Chains A and B, each alone.
Chain A
Amino acid sequence: MVNRVLICNRGEIAVRIIRACRDLGLETVQVYSSADRDSLAVQLADQSVRIGPGSVARSYTNIPAILYAAAKSGADAVHPGCGFLSEDPVFAASCRGVGLTFVGPAAEHIALMGDKVAARAAMRAAGVPVLPGSDGTVDSLGDAVTVSDEIEFPLIIKSVAGGGGRGIAVVHRPEDLPLAYESTRAAARTLFADDRVYLERYLPAARHIEVQVLADGHGTVLHLGERDCSVQRRHQKLVEESPSPALDPRLRERLCAAAVAGARDIGYVSAGTFEFLVAPDGAAYFMEMNTRLQVEHPITEVRTGIDIVGWMIRIAAGERLDLSQSDVRFEGHSIEARINAEDVDRDWAGSTGRLYGLRMPAGPGVRVDSHLYDGYVVPPFYDSLLAKIVTYGATREEALRRLDRALAEYRSAGVTTNVDFHRRLLRHPGFRAGDYQLGVVESVLAESVLAESVPAEPTPGDDAHAEAPRGTHRKDGKSCLTSSPRGSTRKTSGGSSPTPSTSTWPRSPTTPTSSTTWRWTP
């Protein structure tokens, strides 16, 4: 039985979980750090418990403090949200050890998918296509050469313990392998005190497409369709849309079936996400599985009408999914833009401070998930996500138009946001056409530079295929390829949505002022 849910997260996702609990008639306990004492989540929850100072290690990832808070507040379930402890098997096991219902999968599944080599092996066993690569760790240069003959170049050397784009190297030619192999191991030894590495084929141009699954403890495994998360910068997702404009129905069916098979094969229970890399030729490969709620879950909720957060809680409480795959309906098109407190013109530096003059978008086809309110202080300790603006339309074109309308309505001052970047992205021809890949962000930025008559080429990094660190950070933007968008081959979109006509798309923004320069007057 679940009656009172403790939320050990913050920001918009904490607010989202509180709302799901309210919808289910459950009580909520919000734990918080001193820096979040005035947060919306603390205001909305039935109870709140201050567990530590602003630093993450002493508050939101402080397992003893969270368990004491559960005891003090009488909570019987714990929802970890995204990031922080959501994929920490020790935390999941600790909760169950003290009799708390952990709203998430079994600790064993978190641990399995947290080990990249073990995850690859498990998915191969389940018949899910994985990138050609080594069967396990590659412990000598001789082995690396042997493996490289099978998987071909370019390939990528990844540290088993790696994260955040560190401990990886892309190798384009056989003669570069020895140096790259040794230096990656040395770097991994220094960074992670673990020099185990493995090899995978490197896809120079690809899309990041993930499939949402929902599995209960009674044998039902559903997929809720895919999300295209190819708009990333340094492994951080910025925009997600569903359906993907790049998938034809057959490939979509294959990916969704693979995700269901993967979840079923390991006996997974809860919400989860299978991430795939999809090459321009339609070849798709499993990258990894996220054993938690995803930041971008709303676009799936909007299209299917299924409350993923609510179901996560109900499944954790032992309930049975009351629908079958054929009951899941996919309607229209949905897209999400992440509004972050960051200054795109200053190398995306984070921005903190008091936010005021807030005006949130609304109206038909618009959903906003946010913890903002007028006068909210963005603290310096956490990630920069301020709001998720999600729009829905019968077609991709309508969803994009509504997103542009919603972004134009958004206003705030005091903190610099990336709203203008999103509007630039919406005017990018490749994005508008649905014909874009990982690297589209660099392409948009390069065009802005060109517009100022300064020649520039996007400079793709070589830190692709990286995983963000587990535990303390959101790891949403990992495993991305940085490809040269200018060099990529155009292909006709095979998606289900019509390609928007450029002639009908507004060519210039209609907002009179930039949201970041608008001034608040008392």
Chain B
Amino acid sequence: MSETSNGVRSTNGGPPVRVDGAAPVPESTLRSAVRAAAEVAELVRDPAIRRVRVSVADVRIEVEAAEGGRERVVTAEQASASVVLASVPGVPAQATGTAPSALSGAAVAAVPDATAVAAPVGTVPVTAPLMGVFYRRPGPDQPPFAEIGERVEAGDQVAIVEAMKMMNPVLADRGGIVRAVHVSDGEVVEYEQPLLSIEPG
């Protein structure tokens, strides 16, 4: 990725880069974000690609294509900056990165299914570890594991997914504030379906 239309450029030793008007980000973070974007562009090798968007704090990479308007969201490694990379409309992002590695084909998510929900900005999802029945409380008459607005720590139980009478605990993978619960008690959830959104911190 050498140059893009909004002036983000250079992954190799160039000056700090303007990133959505935010404070300069560490070079290493930017480099990994750009590499991720390049890999995504390579991954979805599609002449219809208009735009590649990487929001690292949200751990989110979006690739916008001309046809069908279908967005793909990829989970990338966590960092602490937000980068937008845009290519000239109609021209594929020039992917100088190597073949897809960290982001294998299996990491690309086609969005229009139940595993995609509108998550509040700045949050990360807690997803279902298996297919089953969702419960956000330990028992029918008990309060939820975590209320919206409540703080949870990494490793805290936040839900149950029941499969074949086995109560599988769902744990928060990081500390933060619960900002949304996307599923109702008793609903059947798919594998990797977002259950709650946590604002890390």
Partners in one complex: yes
- Set A49, A53, A68, A379: member contacting B114, Cβ < 8 A: A49
Whether B45 contacts A51 by the Cβ 8 Å rule is no
Contacts of A354 in B (CB 8 A): 43, 45, 100, 105
Complex-state Cα separation, A433 to B82, whole angstroms: 66
A64-B131, A65-B130, A68-B188 are known contacts. Are A54 and B106 too (CB-CB below 8 A)?
yes
A50 touches B (CB below 8 Å): yes
Q: A26 on the interface (CB 8 Å rule)?
A: no
Interface membership of chain B positions 126-166, coded 1 if the CB is closer than 8 angstroms to chain A and 0 otherwise? 00001111000000000000000000000000000001100
In angstroms, Cα B106 to Cα A33, docked, is 10
Task: List, in ascending order, chain A residues with CB within 8 A of B188's CB.
Answer: 68-69, 71-72
- Name the residue in B114, B130, B164, B191 with the highest tally of chain A Cβ atoms < 10 Å from its Cβ: B191
Q: Which one, B100, B133, B163, B191, contacts A50 given CB within 8 A?
A: B191
Q: Which residue of A lies closest to B46 (CB)?
A: A375
- Interface of B, secondary structure class, is loop
Partner of B115, one of A33, A50, A53, A377: A50
Residues on the B chain within 8 Å of A353, using CB? 105
Is the Cβ of A34 less than 8 Å from the Cβ of B190?
Answer: no
Nearest-CB residue, chain B, relative to A378:
B105
Contact check, A53 vs B47: say whether CB atoms are below 8 A apart: no
Give A42 to B108 CA distance when docked, in angstroms: 14
Most chain B CB atoms below 10 A, which of A49, A53, A69: A49
Interface Cβ pair total, 8 Å cutoff: 75
Q: Among the listed B100, B105, B131, which residue makes an inter-chain contact with A379, where contact means beta carbons less than 8 Å apart?
A: B105
Q: Enumerate chain A residues within 8 angstroms of B66, measured Cβ to Cβ.
A: none
Contacts of A48 in B (CB 8 A): 113
CA distance A33 to B113 in the complex (A): 13
B128: nearest chain-A partner, CB-CB: A50
With A and B bound together, what is the CA distance between A62 and B131 in angstroms? 10
Let me know if B92 is at the binding interface, CB within 8 A: yes
Please pick, from A49, A54, A62, the residue contacting B190 in the complex, using a CB distance under 8 A: A49
Task: Please give the residue numbers on chain A whose beta carbons come within 8 Å of chain B beta carbons, in ascending order.
Answer: 33-35, 37-38, 42-43, 48-54, 58-59, 62, 64-65, 68-69, 71-72, 353-354, 356, 375, 377, 379, 522
Which positions in B face A, CB cutoff 8 Å? 43-47, 92, 100, 105-106, 108-110, 113-115, 130-133, 163-164, 188, 190-193
Query: 6 A-B contacts, Cβ less than 8 Å apart?
Result: A43-B110, A50-B191, A50-B192, A59-B191, A375-B44, A379-B105
Q: Apart from A38-B108, A48-B113, A59-B191, what 9 extra A-B contacts exist at CB < 8 Å? A: A42-B113, A49-B114, A50-B114, A50-B131, A52-B130, A58-B130, A72-B190, A354-B45, A354-B105
